[in-house]
Amino acid sequence: RDHGTVLDDVRRGMTPAHIYNDREIFDLERERLFSRAWMFVGHESEVPEPGDYVVRRVLEDSFIVARGNDGDVRVMFNMCLHRGMQVCRAEMGNATHFRCPYHGWSYRNDGRIVGLPFHQEAYGGEAGFRRRGQALLPAPSLDTYNGLIFISLDPDAPPLRDYLGDFTFYLDYYTKQSASGIELRGPQRWRVKANWKIGAENFAGDMYHTPQTHASVVEIGLFREPKAEKRKDGCTYWAGRGGGTTYKLPPGTLDERLRYVGYPDAMIERMKTTWSAEQLAVIGDNGFMISAASVFPNLSFVHNWPKIEDSEDVLPFISIRQWQPISEDETEVLSWFAVDKEAPEEFKALSYKAYLMCFGSTGMFEQDDVENWVSLTTTAAGSMARRLLLNNRMGLHSDDSPVVPPLTPGEFAGPGVARVGYGEYNQRSLLSDWADHLERPAVRRTPVEVGTPA
C-alpha cells in the first residue's frame, strides 16, 4: 500500500499497525517531520551560568546548547568545521572554549573559531582559509517559551508561539508555577525497543490504559483514592499543537483543590498571582487537575501526586520527557524532573522522590508502560501487521458525531476542545498532524561553505 493510502487511513482513525515499526515510514519522518517541527533541546535552567552547556540531539544531529560569556543561549551543530569531528564529547559541563580532539581547532562558547593550528603554514593564512567570521553552524531556528529551548532544522520555521498555539495555556501549568519558572534535574536517559510515536500518543490522551496497565500501582496503595475509577471523570483537551488529560477533583475551592494534590500554601499563593483567571478557573471552578500531556511531535509532560514514604499525604511532581527516535523500533527516553524554582527545599526533595518512584527510569509507571510499547513495536514489524488497521476511533459514534459533546466554556475555562471520559481524540489529533507533516515536501537545505573568502 502506498503512503497516501496509509496517511488517509490514519486521518479517518484507522491506524495501519505497521506505522509503529517501518523503515520507510521512519525515513519519511526524518525527511519531512523532524526536519521541520520545533524540537525541545533543553531548558534555560540547565545552563544557568556563562559557559554552561549540555549536548542534545535531534535524531543523528548533535547540538551544543551553550550559554556564551555574553549570557546568551545558543544552539550550535556539534561538528567541527575542519573534518567533521564532534567538537564537544562530554554530555554537560562548563567551558569557555571547545577544542576539537582530532586536529585541535578550537571554538569559543559562542561558536566562533579562535584557534586553527598552523593556519599560516598549512593554509597560507587568511588567504587560504578565512578564519574570521567562521563559527560552528547555528541551529537553523531557535526560540524559547517559559525557558524551554526549542530548535527547528527549518530556517523558515514559524515562530514557536504560533507553532504551539493555544497549548501554551496548558504549558504554563507545568513550566510556570511562579514568576521564576522551573528548574530541571536530569535528564535520566535510557533506550527502549519501542517506536517513538507510542509514548507521545499515550501521554497525549490515553486515560483508558490506566485501570489495566497500572492496576498494581493502585493495588499497593500508592494513591489516596482508587484513581483508576476516577479516570473516566477527567477530561481530555486538545489546543494548538498539543493536548493532555486531567483528573476530576473533589468539590472545593481553588485553594482546597490545590492543597488536595499536595501543594503547600506558599506555592498556591504564587500560582494565584502567576496564572491567568482562566488558568485558575480550570482548577478552581471546573475542578480539573492537569495530568499528562504531549506536544507534537515528541515532547511530553506528567503531573501526578502519589503518596510517599508511608505517609497518608500525597506529593505532586512534574516530569518533562522526550521520545527521541533512534530508529523505527528504538527510542531514547529523556526524563527530566521539573520543579518550581521558588518551591521550599523540602518540597523539592520530596517531589523528586515522588518523581523517581513513578516516572524515573525505574519508576513503577514507567515499567508498566514500556512493557506494552516494546511488545507492540516488535509485533508491528511483521507481515500480518501490514493487514491490520487498528481502530483509533474511541469516543466517536461516526465520523462527525462524538459520543460525548465537548465541554462548554462554562464547564471548561481553557482554550481548545475538551471532553469528559474515554476517547482517542488526542491520539487522532497527534496522528493527523503527523500525517500532514509526512505529506509536505522535504525542507530545502542551503549548503554552507567553510573557510572560503566572503
Give 185: exposed, middle or buried? Use CB within 10 Å, 0-12, 13-18, 19+: middle
Closest CB to Fe ion belongs to which residue?
369
Task: For 265, list phi and psi in degrees, rounded to 5.
Answer: -55, -40
Among the listed residues 102, 161, 216, 384, the single contact to ligand FES using CB under 6 A: 102
| Least spacing, CB of residue 81 vs ligand FES, in Å | 7
DSSP letter, residue 314:
B
We find the least distance from the C-beta atom of residue 360 to Fe ion, in angstroms, to be 14
* CA-wise closest residue to 358 among 321, 312, 325: 321
Site string for ligand FES, 65-84 (x = CB under 6 A): ---------------x-xx-
The partner in contact with residue 83, picked from Fe ion, ligand FES, none with C-beta cut-offs of 5 to 8 angstroms by kind, is: ligand FES
Q: Of 171, 176, 315, 317, which Cα lies nearest the Cα of 244? A: 171
Asked if 437 interacts with ligand FES (CB under 6 A), we say no
**Residue 73 interacting partner from ligand FES, Fe ion, none (CB closer than 5 to 8 Å by kind):** none
Return the one option of ligand FES, Fe ion, none that residue 257 interacts with (CB less than 5 to 8 A, by type). none
Please, which residues bridge with residue 245 across strands? 236
Cis peptide before 187 (omega within 30 of 0): yes
Q: Cβ 320 to ligand FES, closest distance in Å?
A: 33
User: Is there binding between residue 100 and ligand FES (CB under 6 A)?
Assistant: yes
- Tell me which of ligand FES, Fe ion, none is bound by residue 261, counting a contact when its beta carbon lies within the kind-specific cut-off of 5 to 8 angstroms: none
- What is the three-class DSSP state of 18? helix
Binding-residue total with ligand FES (CB under 6 A): 9
372, burial (CB in 10 Å: exposed 0-12, middle 13-18, buried 19+): middle
CA-to-CA distance for 239 and 110, rounded, in angstroms? 36
Residue 369: contacted member of Fe ion, ligand FES, none (CB under 5 to 8 Å, by partner type):
Fe ion
Q: Shortest approach of ligand FES to residue 57 CB, angstroms?
A: 19
d(CA 187, CA 335): 5
CB of 231 to Fe ion, least distance (A): 11
- To the nearest 10 degrees (0 to 180), the angle between helices 277-284 and 168-175 is 70
Q: Footprint of Fe ion on this chain (CB under 5 A)? A: 369
Q: Residue 82 binds which one of Fe ion, ligand FES, none, with CB within 5 to 8 A depending on kind?
A: ligand FES
Q: How much helix, strand and coil, in percent to the nearest 5, is found in the chain?
A: 35, 30, 40
State the chain's maximal CA–CA distance in angstroms.
78
98 in contact with ligand FES (CB under 6 A) = no
85 binds, among ligand FES, Fe ion, none (CB under 5 to 8 A by kind): ligand FES
Q: Report, in Å, the least distance between residue 7 CB and Fe ion.
A: 27
Instruction: Identify which of residues 53 and 365 has a Cβ nearer to Fe ion in the complex.
Output: 365
Residues that bind ligand FES (CB under 6 A): 80, 82-83, 85, 100, 102-105
